[in-house]
Amino acid sequence: ATDQGTDSPTNNFATLNPLWTPTTSGTEEANLTLSDPASGWSWKPATIMPSAGKWYAEFKSGNGSDPIYTNFGVVPYASFPYIEDETIGAGSSSEAESVGYDKGGTVIKGDSTQYSGTSYGYDDIVCIAVDLDNRAVYFRKNGSAWENSGDPTSGASKTGAVALSSTLSDWSICPSSTQKVHCNYGGGCAYAISSGNADGNGYGNFEYAPPSGYLALCTKNLGSD
C-alpha cells in the first residue's frame, strides 16, 4: 500500500532528482528514497526548487543500526556543486548558505551552530517548513513544537527561524546522509502514513499537518507562491 502515489501529468510532485550525480549517491522507491552511499555522505536535490512561497516536506531515516548520520534541510542552487560529499549546513564559502538539522538536534548554517534542538532517530519524522517570502526555515521532530520555539506563521519576524539568503534563488528541501533516508514531498513515500494531512489547497499526504499557508511541492501549487 505504501508503493503508490498520487502523481499525475496534471499534478506532478517533487522527488529527489536522479540526474544530479556528483557523488556515489543513488535513489530508490520512485526517487523518494536516498540510497546508502558506497562511502561517505550522499545527497540529492529535489526536482522542484522554488524561489518564493511557503513550502512543507517530511523526511525519515531508513532502516539501520546506530549511529545514524543525517542532515535534513535546504540548499540554494548556487551551493549544489560545493555540497558533494559534505553535509547540508556544513562548509563555508559558496556552501555556507545551506542550513541543516542533524540527528543530534544541532541546526547548522555555514558550519556554524544556529541553535541546539531535539535529537531524532529512525522512528522519527523530521518536518521542514520553508518560508521563501520572508527567507526563513523551521524544523520540528514529529508533531512536537517547532524547534527553537519557532513559529512558521510569524512572517517577517521569523520567530525561532534560521534566516536564509535574500539574494539566492532555487531552493531545494532535501536530505544528506551516510545511510538510507526517505522523503515525502506530498505525492507519496516509502513508509506508511498513519494520519494523512493535506495542505491548505487540498494537495499532498503527510503524517503531520503543514503549518497554515505552507504547501506541498507540486506543480498545482506553483502558482500559489
| pLDDT at 93 exceeding the cut of 80 | no
pTM for this model (two decimals): 0.94
- Reported as a single tens digit per residue, the pLDDT across 4-19 is 777 788 899 999 998 8
Strands, DSSP E only, in the chain? Answer: 27-28, 33-34, 42-43, 54-61, 70-76, 99-102, 106-109, 112-116, 125-131, 136-141, 162-163, 171-177, 181-184
Strands 99-102 and 106-109: antiparallel
- Reported as a single tens digit per residue, the pLDDT across 56-78 is 999 998 766 555 788 999 999 98
216 near 199, Cβ under 8 Å?
Answer: yes
Q: How confident is the model at residue 36 (pLDDT cuts 50, 70, 90)?
A: confident
* Phi, psi of 170, rounded to the nearest 5 degrees: 55, 75
- Reported as a single tens digit per residue, the pLDDT across 159-210 is 999 999 999 999 999 998 888 899 999 998 988 898 889 999 999 999 999 9
Strands 112-116 and 70-76: unpaired
Residue 181: DSSP 8-state? E
Nearest to 180 by CA among 27, 2, 23, 4: 27
Nearest to 64 by CA among 180, 155, 175: 180
